[in-house]
């Protein structure tokens, strides 16, 4: 009985122990499932946030994009996240001073200096070239109508005692004091040579002063209410003023005559802006909403030449082109309009030549480039837009400011500068301002690209008979390799040593392809090999050690040459179908070839034995491209069957295909192997997670098929080639980070007036 009880007790203990172990196992399984579910949830949340950020950036909504990227789980942030983050700020430099929010800003011609007025009335002057900020007046100074001379050397402002101070914009030292007005001064304007100043006051007078001595030169008594804000003509002879009266609402003064001012016939009340043409023979007036038209006037006669109608909301700014033949206007209707105001044209038609539509908020300001071929606009949507003034098409959207952009200017060195309510100035180089900024210079399809080992240079091959080498940061062309009559250069490969490149070219009437080995620095051909076939789509590859060069052919063979001796050292046989692309494994032992054949195969050769060791099948149509990841454990192939396949190179087993919906012409892994980039026929680059095999993002920018792409050795940049005749560089570093720049440390009054 005792034994029976003991056995029963032992059985109970064993059962309890078994149940406990089963429960522990169940708990571990449940915990693992919970961890996996949490990981999947985080990854899905990351993917959704990345796609949301990508969509927001396409709409130029940097605020929404920033929120989406900030919400993306940290552990999943990768190349795509970094590339999208870099797009939040495409400026070259950020000038951050002691001030906070900015209410008004104007730049001197050429963008050398900027005058900023803060929400608290504080005046700041920036030397943009030296990147130095000055606060010339003590905090709390009641400075009305601050105005900077065109050369940026004199700051003028009106004081509460009706005087006008002319001071040094860096120190605030008063150089001259203008006394004489008996009422508040509400406008100050410098003459074109900076020697004269004109002021307007509530005392009903206009006064002309010597800017050097501060002496009063002339006084003009205005009709009732006709001495409100004024503008001096470019030649310094005429002044136009506006008043509160309903009609006439604008008067034209000749400073060289004692005649009374000439009213602009038909100028009705509510005028809030006046602009002269560069020659000073015409001017435009802009009225307050609900009036949305612009009136063009002859300065000599005071007669109205035309009324320009088309804006749907308040016109916020107007400026003439440098030659005076076009007028640029901006509006709260979110558009910019370009008008033909050449002699007689405005009278013939009041329709705009171009409507520049792209901002998602009010457009505050716009200006022509010095040569009149470009337009730069700034908007409440926190962006600037850089336009082609001849076609009205946007060239680049410049994002980075975190509040509305209220002013912008072309600088004499070709860069741009902008000011925002966020209190910063930003410098921009339009060459690098686009997301995936374009490198232009080729005159036909760009078919192939490759980075140099330094990651700073890019080689390209195009159907214009050239291969070219570019600076990947500036887009500047460094070398041009002409191909002696060959019309098409379809491939370029960079030697691991960085001193040589190889190219594949053809002439449509020739029977052979040419493979050339070049000394890049000397732009000199070192050797030429002839292929016994002629076709347009072959590609080249150097072995990782740089000792071999491989080229696929239309005859289904891959040829190997010794780079040192220039001798042919092998022909890899694989079939009768063309080999479009070749790629060495990272250790150089294997070579993969993309077969443009009916069964859609990828062929693998042993480089040492020159034997074919494997044929990978699965694609339904010809394979266009192949690429290895950096460790050689995965191979990707892209096909005209609209799929990409990934192969585990330890077993050569394929994963499920990645459906692209279009032909795939190029594939490349990121440096860490986590992502795969696919160059597609629908003008897009698709980014895939190589582990989950889920699409993360679509990169847009090209306007024709994307034919090839490559990553820089450090993995921070990708370059793509397209049928739109451009290369595009996609960077994970902002322009500031790439340049190693840092923000410069800190070393109601009338709106600031634009310098004349």
The predicted structure's pLDDT at residue 6: 63
- Residue-level length of the chain: 756
Contact 749, 142 (CB under 8 A): yes
**125 and 105 in contact (C-beta within 8 Å)?**
no
Return the closest-CA partner of residue 149 out of 134, 132, 169.
Answer: 169
Q: Is residue 77 predicted with pLDDT exceeding 80?
A: yes
Cis peptide bond N-terminal to 248, omega within 30: yes
Q: At what angle do helices 62-71 and 2-58 cross, to 10 degrees?
A: 160
Q: What's the pLDDT at 172?
A: 92
Min mean pLDDT across 11-25, 422-436, 492-506, 667-681 is at: 11-25
Over residues 630-647, the mean pLDDT reads 96
Beta bridge partners of 200: 187, 206
Nearest Cα residue to 401 out of 416, 385, 375, 423: 423
Tokens found for residue 443: 């005159």
φ and ψ at 111, to 5 degrees? 65, 25
Write the pLDDT tens digit of every residue in 466-497: 999 999 988 899 999 999 878 899 999 999 99
Sign of the alpha-carbon dihedral angle for 730, 731, 736, 740? negative
Q: Give the CA distances from residue 21 to residues 27, 600, 687, in Å, rounded to whole numbers and listed in that order.
A: 10, 52, 45
Helix (H, G, I), strand (E, B) or coil at 647: strand
pLDDT score, position 742: 38
Q: Does 448 score more than 80 pLDDT?
A: yes
385: nearest Cα among 356, 352, 413: 356
Q: Which of 289, 304, 338 is the last residue of a domain?
A: 338
Give the C-alpha separation, 536 to 513, whole Å.
9
Domain presence at residue 538: yes
Beta strands in 113-184 (DSSP E): 113-118, 123-127, 132-134, 144-148, 155-158, 164-167, 174-178
Q: What is the pLDDT of residue 225?
A: 53
Total of domains in the chain: 2
Number of Cβ within a 10 Å radius of residue 535 = 18
Instruction: Give me the helices (H) in 706-748, please.
Output: 735-739
b/e 620-636 (16+ beta carbons within 10 angstroms → b): ebbbbbbbbbeebebbb
* Phi, psi dihedral angles at 496 (to 5 degrees): -55, -25
pLDDT of residue 343: 84
Instruction: State the average pLDDT over residues 374-384.
Output: 94
Of the ranges 50-64, 140-154, 388-402, 515-529, which one carries the lowest mean pLDDT score? 50-64
Burial (CB count <10 Å: 0-12, 13-18, 19+), residue 600: buried
CA distance 352 to 356: 10
Task: Give the end-to-end CA distance of the chain in Å, rounded to a whole number.
Answer: 116
Neighbours of 229 (CB within 10 A): 21
pLDDT of amino acid 430: 74
pLDDT higher than 50, residue 741: no
Read out DSSP for 272-324? EEEEE-TTSSEEEEEEPTT---EEEEETTT--EEEEE---SS-EEEEEE-TTS
Q: CATH number, domain at 499?
A: 2.130.10.10
What was the pLDDT predicted at 195?
86
Distance CA 314, CA 327 (A): 16
DSSP summary character for residue 164: E
For residue 746, is pLDDT > 70? no
- Contact by Cβ (8 Å): 147, 189: yes
- Crossing angle (nearest 10°) for helices 79-86 and 2-58: 30
Please state whether the peptide bond connecting residue 290 to the residue before it is cis, i.e. omega within 30 degrees of 0.
yes
The helix/strand/coil state of 9 is helix
Is 673's pLDDT higher than 50?
yes
Continuous segment of H or E residues that includes residue 541? strand 540-542
Position 744 scores a pLDDT of 33
Written as six digits, the tokens of 213 are: 């001595």
The answer to whether residue 43 is domain-embedded is no
Q: For residue 535, what pLDDT is reported?
A: 67
The pLDDT score that the predictor gives to residue 755 is 43
For residue 748, is pLDDT > 60? Answer: no
Q: Which one, of 567, 520, 529, 533, lies nearest residue 548 by Cα?
A: 567
Domain finish residue from 310, 338, 366: 338
Flag whether 251 is in a domain. yes
* 269 in a structural domain: yes
Residue 557 belongs to domain spanning = 490-515+531-732
Contacts of 215 (CB under 8 A, 6+ apart): 209
> pLDDT tens digits, residue range 276-303?
999 989 999 998 888 889 999 988 888 8
Span 302-354, pLDDT tens digits: 888 999 999 999 999 999 999 999 999 999 999 999 999 998 776 666 789 99
Whole-Å CA distances, 641 to 45, 171, 598, 621, 723: 31, 70, 11, 5, 20
Q: How far apart are alpha carbons 242 and 294 in whole angstroms?
A: 15
Any domain includes 151:
no
Task: Specify the residue for token string 């101070």.
Answer: 165
Q: Please state, in angstroms and as integers, the Cα–Cα distance from residue 491 to each residue in 175, 467, 504, 558, 690, following that order.
A: 66, 9, 5, 15, 26
Read off the pLDDT of residues 175-217 as tens digits, 9 standing for 90 and up. Answer: 999 999 999 998 899 988 888 899 988 888 889 999 888 899 9
Q: Which helix (H) or strand (E) holds 265?
A: none
Range name among 57-61, 134-138, 481-485, 718-722 with the lowest pLDDT average = 57-61
In this predicted structure, which of 105-109, 255-259, 466-470, 697-701 has the lowest mean pLDDT? 255-259
pLDDT digit string, tens, across residues 656-670 = 999 999 999 999 999
Note the pLDDT tens digit of each residue in 99-137.
Answer: 668 889 999 999 999 999 988 888 999 999 999 999 999
- Does a structural domain hold residue 60? no
Give residues with Cβ within 8 angstroms of 693, minimum separation 6.
Answer: 646, 655, 656, 658
Round the average pLDDT of the chain to a whole number and report it.
88
* pLDDT band (50, 70, 90) for residue 38: confident
**What is residue 567's predicted lDDT score, i.e. its pLDDT?**
97
Q: Contact at 8 Å (CB) between 710 and 668?
A: yes
Name beta bridge partners: 58: none
Region 456-473 average pLDDT? 96
- H helix or E strand, kind and range, residue 170: none
Q: Which of 303, 338, 373 is the last residue of a domain?
A: 338
Exposure b/e, 84-98, CB count within 10 A at least 16 = b? bbbbbbbbbbbbbbe
* CA atoms of 239 and 262, how far apart (whole Å): 10
Given pLDDT bands bounded at 50, 70 and 90, which one contains residue 751?
very low
pLDDT band at 639 (very low <50, low <70, confident <90, very high): very high
Residue 737 lies in a domain: no
Q: Closest by alpha carbon to 329, among 304, 302, 344, 307? A: 307
223-238 residue pLDDT tens: 665 546 567 888 888 8
pLDDT of amino acid 244: 59
Confidence of residue 402 (pLDDT cuts 50, 70, 90): confident
Tally Cβ neighbours within 10 Å of residue 159: 16
Note the pLDDT of residue 177: 93
* 376 falls within a domain: no
CA distance 88 to 289: 34
């Amino acid at each position: 009985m005792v034994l029976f009880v003991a056995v029963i007790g032992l059985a109970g203990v064993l059962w309890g122990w078994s149940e406990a172990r089963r429960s522990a196992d169940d708990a571990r399984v449940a915990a693992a499932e919970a961890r996996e579910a949490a990981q999947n949830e985080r990854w899905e949340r990351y993917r959704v946030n990345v796609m949301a950020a990508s969509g927001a950036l396409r709409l130029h909504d940097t605020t929404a994009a920033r929120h989406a990227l900030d919400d993306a789980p940290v552990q999943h942030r990768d190349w795509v996240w970094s590339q999208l983050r870099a797009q939040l700020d495409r400026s070259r430099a950020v000038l951050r001073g002691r001030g906070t929010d900015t209410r008004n800003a104007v730049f001197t011609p050429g963008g050398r200096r900027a005058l900023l007025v803060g929400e608290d009335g504080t005046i700041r002057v920036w030397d943009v070239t030296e990147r130095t900020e000055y606060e010339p007046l003590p905090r709390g100074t009641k400075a009305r109508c601050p105005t900077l001379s065109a050369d940026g050397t004199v700051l003028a402002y009106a004081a509460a005692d009706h005087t006008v101070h002319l001071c040094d914009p860096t120190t605030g030292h008063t150089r001259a004091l203008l006394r004489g007005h008996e009422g508040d001064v509400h406008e100050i304007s410098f003459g074109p040579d900076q020697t004269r100043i004109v002021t307007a006051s509530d005392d009903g007078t206009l006064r002309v002063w010597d800017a050097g001595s501060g002496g009063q030169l002339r006084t003009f008594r205005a009709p009732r209410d006709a001495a409100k804000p004024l503008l001096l003509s470019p030649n310094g002879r005429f002044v136009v003023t506006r008043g509160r009266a309903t009609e006439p609402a604008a008067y034209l003064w000749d400073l060289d005559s004692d005649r009374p001012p000439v009213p602009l016939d038909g100028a009705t009340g509510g005028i809030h802006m006046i602009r002269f043409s560069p020659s000073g023979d015409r001017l435009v007036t802009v009225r307050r909403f609900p009036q949305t038209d612009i009136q063009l006037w002859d300065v000599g006669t005071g007669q109205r030449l035309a009324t320009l109608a088309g804006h749907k909301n308040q016109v916020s700014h107007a400026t003439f082109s440098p030659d005076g033949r076009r007028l640029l206007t901006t509006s709260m209707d979110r558009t910019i309009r370009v008008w033909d105001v050449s002699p007689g044209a405005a009278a013939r038609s009041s329709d705009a030549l171009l409507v520049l539509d792209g901002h998602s908020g009010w457009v505050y300001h716009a200006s022509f480039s010095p040569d009149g071929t470009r337009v730069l606009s700034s908007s409440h949507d926190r962006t600037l837009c850089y336009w082609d003034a001849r076609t009205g098409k946007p060239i680049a959207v410049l994002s980075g400011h975190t509040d509305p952009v209220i002013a912008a200017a072309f600088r004499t060195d070709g860069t741009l500068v902008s000011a925002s309510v966020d209190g910063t100035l930003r410098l921009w180089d339009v060459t690098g301002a686009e997301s995936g900024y374009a490198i232009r210079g080729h005159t036909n399809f760009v078919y192939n690209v490759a980075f140099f080992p330094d990651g700073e240079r890019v080689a390209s091959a195009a159907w214009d008979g050239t291969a070219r080498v570019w600076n990947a940061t500036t887009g500047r062309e460094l070398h041009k390799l002409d191909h002696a009559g060959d019309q098409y250069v379809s491939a370029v490969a960079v030697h691991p040593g960085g001193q040589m490149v190889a190219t594949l070219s053809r002439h449509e009437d020739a029977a052979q392809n040419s493979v050339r080995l070049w000394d890049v620095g000397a732009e000199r051909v070192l050797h030429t090999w002839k292929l016994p076939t002629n076709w347009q789509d072959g590609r080249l590859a150097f072995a990782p050690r740089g000792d071999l060069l491989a080229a696929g052919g239309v005859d289904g063979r891959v040829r190997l040459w010794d780079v040192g001796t220039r001798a042919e050292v092998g022909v890899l046989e694989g079939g009768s179908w063309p080999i479009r692309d070749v790629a060495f494994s990272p250790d150089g032992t294997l070579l993969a070839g993309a077969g443009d054949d009916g069964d859609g195969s990828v062929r693998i050769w042993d480089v040492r034995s020159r034997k074919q060791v494997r044929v990978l099948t699965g694609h339904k149509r010809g394979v266009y491209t192949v690429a290895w990841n950096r460790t050689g454990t995965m191979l990707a192939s892209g096909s005209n069957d609209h799929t990409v396949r990934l192969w585990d190179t330890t077993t050569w087993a394929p994963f499920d295909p990645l459906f692209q919906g279009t032909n795939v012409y190029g594939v490349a892994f990121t440096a860490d192997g986590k992502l795969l980039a696919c160059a597609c026929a629908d003008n897009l680059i698709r980014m895939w997670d190589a582990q989950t095999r889920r699409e993360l993002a679509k990169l847009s920018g090209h306007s024709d098929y994307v034919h090839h792409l490559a990553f820089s050795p450090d993995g921070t940049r990708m370059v793509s080639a397209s049928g739109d005749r451009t290369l595009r560089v996609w960077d994970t570093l902002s322009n500031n980070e790439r340049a190693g720049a840092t923000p410069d440390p800190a070393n109601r009054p009338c709106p600031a007036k634009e310098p004349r």
